[in-house]
Amino acid sequence: MFHVHILRSDKDGKRYIGFTANLERRLLEHHTGCVTSTKNRRPLQLIYSETFSDKIDAEKREKFFKSGRGRVELKLMGL
């Protein structure tokens, strides 16, 4: 299983979008400062996730959320 996850920084309110095969491990890495892009933006909250059986589908969804249309969709979802 593959997971697309969206985190929000309590510090600056910005979102982080990523995908992983192990969501629990990846969240731990974010929360402990092991991820360079979120290290200085902690604490972080998981605000959304989706699960996919196929890695390619998860990568496509992550890429969509990072696009202009994807950001609009996230805004409409209240994220």
Segments making up each domain of the chain, as ranges: 2-76
Cβ atoms of residues 59 and 28 within 8 Å: no
CA angle 58, 50, 24 (to 5 degrees): 95
Pick the CATH number of 2-76 from 3.40.50.970, 3.40.190.10, 3.40.1440.10, 1.10.4160.10: 3.40.1440.10
Alpha carbon of residue 71 to chain centroid: 12
pLDDT of residue 48: 98
What is residue 14's three-state secondary structure?
Answer: coil
For the chain, list residues with pLDDT below 70.
none
pLDDT of residue 13: 95
pLDDT of residue 51: 98
pLDDT of residue 42: 96
pLDDT of residue 14: 95
